[in-house]
Structure 1
């Protein structure tokens, strides 16, 4: 009897003594907010950059010099004009490419006939870098805005269509069968089951396509452009103007990061049902 009583006393915490926090609770308490980590990473990056510039590594300009040059370009309106021009081209090409990719990806995933007809062409053109089509785009479309937007459109389209197609194909068959048992038709299943289940894939494809669009815009603006971040960087290269080149690089990175964060916010709003880590 004494042994049993002692065992119970050992198993139960003493009155008034708080129980030790479980491991998940301790992990939550120690978790550092992502914004704080981002600021720390930014500070470290600037510090390393300033250190390398002070040591004269590769004639690298320092953050102060680049910031001064950015202020000059903002003052005369050059930077705003270039950012708006590049943003307009990227957004137009990305929006058109993503819209077509989502529509075609759904058709390929839902209808085997469409998949068989289109998949060979999709896989073929995925192996050709969009930049390799710039000479052809110039010959066929001239030197206006159309070829610039076309190569950006192609980069976004090829990145998004495969993700959308894979999202539709990977929808759990059990969900579709359950909906059919409950009397749902094809359109209802497509709208209520397939689209929500494939949304995470679509948004990931859009984020990849956005990165491809920004990676393509610099080369696209070589096509007889008179403004744009890519054009300004190429022009600065002629005069070995490293400060201007760095301003262009940082501007592209900031714009791309802001657009990516907006897509990430949309993903969280549209996929609230998805379990996250």
Structure 2
């Protein structure tokens, strides 16, 4: 009987083989061959981008924007979610606006941010911070309000202050929900930066895809699409590692 780890790698290998077969079929079918160039063409595009020095510059530029935007969004969302869960007047004021803005796709307000903040790093950070702040606030808030209220009642009966309840109950119990928010936030950061860089950016993966699209370079575009997916997987693995470190005590 194969172990779970062996089964996991088996099915992963199987899925990769199936994906490559689908790619091969699409690259050889007349109607899709222009959109899905074969692996050799994509590999050549990778070598060209490396030779020109574009690929590492674009990845660094995008990840810099993602880091600062995500960090800003997280630092704002965590305390905001706690305040929403703890104080009903604050929740009644803030929650409707969060729900309203959250329904607006980031691409809709990217041009307004670019007009206000100009081109470069700042507008990209602002757009990512807004998008991640909204999603992570809602996720963390929903987690906090689902914490067992009996724990809080018991703590109050034992004479615990608001600060002690916050420190010993709310924060530890919220960690799994915070990590879920972080996972969603990293994904949203990547999708948002591509949209943000498509309008007025001077570097980054989104800007490069727009540039390659203007020259009808489907091999280069597919290369960058694959790179974005790989970076997303690596960021997800990083979040998994952090989550195991922070919540290992809950799994034992």
What's the TM-score once normalised by structure 1's chain length? 0.83
Which of residues 20, 23, 39 in structure 1 aligns to 2:13? 39
Partner of 2:79: 103
Q: Are the equivalent residues in 1 in contact too, given 2:127–2:192 (CA < 8 A)?
A: yes
**Residues 109-128 of structure 1 mapped to structure 2, 5 A cutoff:** 109-128=85-104
Aligned counterparts of 1:181 and 1:154: Cα–Cα separation in 2: 39
Partner of 2:244: 268
1:238 partnered with 2:214: yes
Aligned counterparts of 1:183 and 1:36: Cα–Cα separation in 2: 55
| Residue segments in structure 1 that go unaligned for 5+ positions in a row | 1-25
Q: Are the equivalent residues in 2 in contact too, given 1:108–1:165 (CA < 8 A)?
A: yes
| Residue segments in structure 2 that go unaligned for 5+ positions in a row | none
Aligned counterparts of 1:122 and 1:224: Cα–Cα separation in 2: 27
Cα distance change of structure 1 residues 223 and 29 upon mapping to structure 2, 3 Å threshold: closer
User: What do the CA deviations read for 1:133-164 (whole angstroms, capped 9, x no partner)?
Assistant: 11221222222322221111111111100011
Q: Are the equivalent residues in 1 in contact too, given 2:114–2:200 (CA < 8 A)?
A: no
Partner of 2:163: 187
1:55 partnered with 2:29: yes
User: What do the CA deviations read for 1:39-78 (whole angstroms, capped 9, x no partner)?
Assistant: 3322221222122212344222012221221122123321
**Residues 152-171 of structure 1 mapped to structure 2, 5 A cutoff:** 152-171=128-147
Q: Are the equivalent residues in 2 in contact too, given 1:130–1:155 (CA < 8 A)?
A: yes
Q: Are the equivalent residues in 2 in contact too, given 1:159–1:206 (CA < 8 A)?
A: no
Runs of 4+ with >6 A deviation: none
The CA deviation at 1:178 is: 2.3
Partner of 1:248: 224
Aligned counterparts of 1:185 and 1:43: Cα–Cα separation in 2: 58
Which of residues 189, 202, 210 in structure 1 aligns to 2:186? 210
Number of paired residues? 250
Aligned counterparts of 1:36 and 1:84: Cα–Cα separation in 2: 33
The CA deviation at 1:211 is: 1.4
Cα distance change of structure 1 residues 141 and 226 upon mapping to structure 2, 3 Å threshold: closer
Larger radius of gyration: 1
CA RMSD in angstroms, aligned pairs only = 2.0
User: What do the CA deviations read for 1:159-189 (whole angstroms, capped 9, x no partner)?
Assistant: 1000111111111011112223333322121
Bigger share in helix: 2
What's the TM-score once normalised by structure 2's chain length? 0.91
The CA deviation at 1:29 is: 4.9
